[in-house]
Amino acid sequence: LSTISEKVSSRGGSGDDSGGSRILVFVRLRPISRKEREAGAGCCVKIVDGRDVYLTEFATDLNDYLRLKRLRGRHFTFDASFPDTATQHDVYSTTTAELVEAVLQGRNGSVFCYGATGAGKTYTMLGTVENPGVMVLAIKDLFSKIRQRSFDGNHVVHLSYLEVYNETVRDLLSPGRPLVLREDKQGIVAAGLTQYRAYSTDEVMALLQQGNRNRTTEPTRVNETSSRSHAILQVAVEYRVKDSSNNIVNRVGKLSLIDLAGSERALATDQRTLRSLEGANINKSLLALSSCINALVEGKKHIPYRNSKLTQLLKDSLGGACNTVMIANISPSSHSFSETQNTLHWADRAKEIRTKAYDAHEEIQVPDSGTDQAKLLLELQKENR
């Protein structure tokens, strides 16, 4: 995977003549589960050379497949593709470590996991105590980088963790009434959202796990997070630097880590009347995300962010001044073939999006608390007092 990391890190914000950089798209295959095996499922995905993904409907031998040239819509190439043996650390270091570095330089970054329910999104993002995921590894790396460079307590790290469920935004660190989204010059603000000041990694895993337990569950399956819930962790790093004329300036970099709702088509459920409303809303958020991605791919001037709460919140994580990473999670089970194919098609499309990440040096000239991010953070802090 180290060669993949090298290839990936050559992306850079300025290495592209259009002045933008495209979204990096990764695929992660999870191991087949015992339950799937017991149900007689075969493995229908093969990952070759850390990049290529082949979908083989009935666990066909890949060589037969290649010989028959039946690969239309069945072969995809991504920036990196992780086989089921990849560790949490492999995934973190290839997909997100570079963004943590950028955030420490006052830039924004975002990573989002997309895929059907059970495909491994929450495992990838949050992970377990034994195998912490991208959210925890990113924060750990952030603190260790801050310590290594003896930044003298100059860096302040704030965490917020929120959920979009049924077009309602909730604070996962402080459950209560739904939050209202407001748009002002600084962008979209969730009024009253907790900004938790983090001092070390140790407290973070417990905090995030508690937050995850606060995610909405189905009344019929109280121990399972609803597949319709989107979770967004935002890590804001605020610090002061001296600019060229020796003025102290404030800078903020923000990393957004997003565990999206299950991407499967609305399934028939036992409580259809209640669910149909929720189903429609979840479709609304994911459909809105798809339309934004399509509009971005086509280079449209108008991107329909306003169509859902999710896309409003992701506005500066998709098309704006942001380094964006998408991780498509897939199951190897032949019983999930069509979901996997949908996920791969969507991921393939997402490769075409271009984003423009600000160069870190553009922001050095901005006066104290003059950046949009700084204003936003100050405002949020005021609201939380």
Write out the residues near ligand ADP by the rule CB under 6 A.
30-31, 115, 117-123, 262, 329
Nearest one of 130, 144, 36 to 88, comparing CA atoms: 130
Structure tokens at 212: 């995850």
Q: Which is nearer to ligand ADP, 311 or 333 (CB)?
A: 333
The rounded distance, in Å, linking the Cα atoms of 240 and 238 is: 7
The rounded distance, in Å, linking the Cα atoms of 7 and 211 is: 35
**42 assigned ligand-binding residue:** no
The rounded distance, in Å, linking the Cα atoms of 242 and 84 is: 46
Q: Which is nearer to ligand ADP, 31 or 73 (CB)?
A: 31
**120 assigned ligand-binding residue:** yes
Contacts of 242 (CB under 8 A, 6+ apart): 248, 249
Identify residue 350 by its one-letter amino acid code: A
Minimum CB separation of residue 119 from ligand ADP in Å reads: 4
Residue span binding Mg ion (CB under 5 A) among the ranges 50-58, 117-125, 189-197, 268-276 = 117-125
Structure tokens at 310: 């999710």
Minimum CB separation of residue 90 from ligand ADP in Å reads: 10
Say if residues 336 and 120 touch (Cβ distance below 8 Å). no
Nearest one of 139, 131, 140, 111 to 31, comparing CA atoms: 131
Minimum CB separation of residue 116 from ligand ADP in Å reads: 7
**145 assigned ligand-binding residue:** no
Say how many C-beta atoms besides its own lie within 10 A of residue 379's C-beta: 15
**299 assigned ligand-binding residue:** no
Per-residue string for binding with Mg ion, 76-115, x by CB under 5 A? ----------------------------------------
Minimum CB separation of residue 122 from Mg ion in Å reads: 3
Alpha-carbon dihedral of residues 229, 306, 278, 349, nearest 10 degrees? -70
**216 assigned ligand-binding residue:** no
Minimum CB separation of residue 122 from ligand ADP in Å reads: 3
Q: Where are the alpha helices (DSSP H) in 115-190?
A: 121-125, 134-148
Residue 119 interacting entry, from Mg ion, ligand ADP, none, C-beta within 5 to 8 Å by type: ligand ADP
Q: Which is nearer to ligand ADP, 122 or 333 (CB)?
A: 122
Nearest one of 323, 159, 322, 152 to 241, comparing CA atoms: 152
**Residue whose entry in the numeric block shows the structure tokens 């603000």:** 189
Task: Give the residue at shortest CB distance from Mg ion.
Answer: 122
Structure tokens at 236: 């804001």
Residues across the chain: 385
Q: Which is nearer to Mg ion, 122 or 336 (CB)?
A: 122
**118 assigned ligand-binding residue:** yes
Structure tokens at 367: 């006066």
Q: Which is nearer to ligand ADP, 124 or 323 (CB)?
A: 124
The rounded distance, in Å, linking the Cα atoms of 344 and 73 is: 9
Residue 12 interacting entry, from ligand ADP, Mg ion, none, C-beta within 5 to 8 Å by type: none
Minimum CB separation of residue 252 from ligand ADP in Å reads: 29
Structure tokens at 329: 């999670």
Phi, psi of 286 (to 5 degrees): -75, -35
The rounded distance, in Å, linking the Cα atoms of 156 and 177 is: 27
Binding test (CB under 5 A) with Mg ion, winner from 122, 263, 308, 341: 122
Residue 329 interacting entry, from Mg ion, ligand ADP, none, C-beta within 5 to 8 Å by type: ligand ADP
Number of shown-chain residues binding Mg ion (CB under 5 A): 2
Q: Which is nearer to ligand ADP, 34 or 382 (CB)?
A: 34
Say if residues 143 and 157 touch (Cβ distance below 8 Å). yes
Minimum CB separation of residue 123 from Mg ion in Å reads: 8
Minimum CB separation of residue 123 from ligand ADP in Å reads: 3
Residue span binding Mg ion (CB under 5 A) among the ranges 116-124, 243-251, 356-364, 376-384 = 116-124
- Treating both helix axes as pointing N-terminal to C-terminal, what angle do 202-213 and 134-148 enclose, rounded to 10 degrees? 150
Q: Which is nearer to ligand ADP, 117 or 250 (CB)?
A: 117
Residue span binding Mg ion (CB under 5 A) among the ranges 12-20, 98-106, 122-130, 322-330 = 122-130
- Contact residues for Mg ion, defined by CB under 5 A: 121-122
Annotated binding residues for ATP, as ranges?
115-122
Annotated binding residues, as ranges?
115-122
